[in-house]
Amino acid sequence: MKIEEFNRTIKTSKLPVMVEFWASWCGPCKVMAPALKETSRKFEGKVKLVKINADESPELLRSLKVLSIPTVMGYRDGELVFRKAGAQPESVLDDWFADLAEGREVKMQLRPADRWLRTIVALILAGIGLASGPSIFLLVLAGLFLFSAVYDRCPIYKAIAPRMKGLLSKAKS
């Protein structure tokens, strides 16, 4: 697909558009394909799915800075709403399609494996921090890792994040 055709598709669609960049040789793309097909079937008429073969559209990938596949992008009213690289389970795809279809903010959640990995790293750092006399630096670092494992579920983060985004956007202007 050419850049002009892609832009026209995104801008003229009356429905929100979910774009998947894939390739026939990509293992994660093959794993995600049945879930994506099923989810797009569930949301037929509510969200348009556009599948773009990465091997056939290298200029488009470069222009959109797509560095890995599969990459999924969601567009609403011609504007990019979210972007995520890597294979996703059907439950996450269902949530994203529903959010796009209903005009809600698309929630990007950590995968359970990522949560566990961050929690384990936090516990290891805390253990080393306590065992080494205690090390405030390692304990703070452990706290940051632990917070990053649960931040999207944290009510304080949910209350502060929109305000911080607003302040940052004002500071950039």
Strands of the chain (E only): list them: 17-22, 48-53, 71-76, 79-85
CA distance 4 to 149: 40
CA distance 71 to 67: 8
Neighbours of 36 (CB within 10 A): 22
Domains of the chain: 3-102 (3.40.30.10), 112-172 (no CATH)
Tell me, what's the pLDDT at 113?
Answer: 76
Residues of the chain under the 70 pLDDT cut = 108-111, 151-162, 172-173
Average pLDDT along the chain = 86
* Residue numbers annotated as active site: 26, 29
At which residue do the structure tokens 């690289």 appear?
85
Q: What share of the chain is helix, strand, coil (3-state, %, to 5)?
A: 60, 15, 25
Tell me, what's the pLDDT at 167?
Answer: 74
Strands 48-53 and 17-22: parallel
